[in-house]
């Protein structure tokens, strides 16, 4: 009985000493949390999507507070909250925030079943990552969409779905937050974040095939063939060609649509533009029409 009592007393003394030591250490090495950190975290949407480049909203809030202490939060942006949330955060931190154009995910592939016929059948795990690891996939294009919907699974905002008719993913502009999750999920890198554009109008090359023109066109009827006609048509130096593939810089593009008209394979797409009106007849054509009518009338009289 005495042994039990002694053991209890010894253990109690050890616990008491350990508690005192821990208390002293916690006070000595305590780190005071900046009260702004909690306020900024609450202002952020809490999606924890990683679209800002940090592991979550907590990491973003910490970066914003540290940036404010350093004198600038430039380059830090929450794609989910957008400009409105960033302005709230800037007010909390007493900083100015630059206006940022909204972005949206864009699928740069138009290899529908009609445009890009299947040449093989894949039997295995139905994910884009799995098919990509085996090679070109079920078509002759080793660059285009694989159609398994890895991007759909990655999206936390229900903003991207597979079209059953085309077999391609489609982005809902209104739901897309430009978090970039679909971009990271695509093993073929066909999804890109681009400026949403005024009135949701965008012009881009809907192809990522880097094969030479003849090979690319054989695999897909609407592939970019790197012919350079769009490059010659652009007066704003917005188009470059690299590895047989054209690319449009959305910061330089003036939405003139001349490149769209110049593309022989219709690989360049213009979204949400009004339908163009038919060009009016020229004076020469009108005059020619009048002369034809007059000549017909004379022939009828004779």
Are 233 and 277 contacting, i.e. CB atoms less than 8 angstroms apart?
A: no
Q: Is 113 annotated as a binding residue?
A: no
Q: Is 49 annotated as a binding residue?
A: yes
Are 170 and 163 contacting, i.e. CB atoms less than 8 angstroms apart?
A: yes
Alpha-carbon distance of 230 to 262, in angstroms, equals: 6
Maximum C-alpha span of the chain: 142
Q: Is 109 annotated as a binding residue?
A: no
Are 42 and 58 contacting, i.e. CB atoms less than 8 angstroms apart?
A: no
The phi, psi pair for 108, rounded to 5°, reads -95, 60
Q: Is 256 annotated as a binding residue?
A: no
Alpha-carbon distance of 39 to 84, in angstroms, equals: 16
Q: Is 186 annotated as a binding residue?
A: yes
Q: Is 141 annotated as a binding residue?
A: yes
Q: Is 224 annotated as a binding residue?
A: no
CA distances from 172 to 105, 178, 220 (A): 9, 11, 25
- Return binding residues for [4Fe-4S] cluster: 49, 52, 57, 78, 141, 145, 148, 151, 155, 176, 179, 182, 186
- Return binding residues: 49, 52, 57, 78, 141, 145, 148, 151, 155, 176, 179, 182, 186
């Amino acid at each position: 009985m005495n042994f039990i009592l002694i053991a209890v007393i010894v253990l109690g003394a050890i616990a008491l000493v350990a508690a005192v030591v821990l208390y002293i250490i916690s006070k000595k090495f305590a780190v005071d949390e900046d009260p702004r950190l909690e306020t900024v975290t609450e202002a952020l949407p809490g999606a924890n999507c990683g679209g800002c480049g940090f592991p979550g909203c907590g990491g973003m809030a910490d970066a914003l507070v540290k940036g404010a202490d350093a004198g600038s939060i430039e380059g830090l942006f929450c794609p989910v909250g957008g400009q409105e949330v960033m302005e709230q955060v800037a007010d909390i931190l007493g900083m100015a925030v630059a206006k940022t154009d909204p972005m949206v995910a864009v699928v740069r592939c138009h290899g529908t079943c009609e445009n890009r016929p299947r040449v093989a059948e894949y039997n295995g795990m139905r994910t884009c990552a799995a098919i990509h690891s085996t090679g070109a996939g079920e078509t002759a294009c080793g660059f285009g969409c694989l159609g398994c919907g890895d991007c759909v699974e990655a999206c936390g905002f229900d903003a991207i779905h597979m079209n059953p008719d085309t077999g391609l993913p489609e982005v809902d502009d209104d739901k897309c937050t430009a978090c970039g999750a679909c971009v990271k999920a695509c093993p073929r890198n066909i999804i890109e974040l681009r400026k949403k554009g005024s009135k949701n109008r965008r012009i881009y090359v809907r192809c990522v095939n880097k094969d030479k023109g003849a090979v690319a066109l054989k695999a897909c009827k609407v592939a970019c063939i790197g012919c350079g006609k769009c490059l010659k048509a652009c007066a704003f130096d917005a188009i470059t060609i690299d590895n047989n593939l054209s690319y449009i810089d959305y910061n330089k593009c003036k939405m003139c649509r001349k490149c769209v008209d110049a593309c022989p394979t219709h690989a360049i797409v213009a979204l949400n533009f009004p339908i163009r009106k038919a060009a009016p007849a020229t004076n020469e054509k009108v005059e020619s029409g009048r002369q034809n009518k007059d000549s017909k009338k004379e022939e009828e009289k004779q």
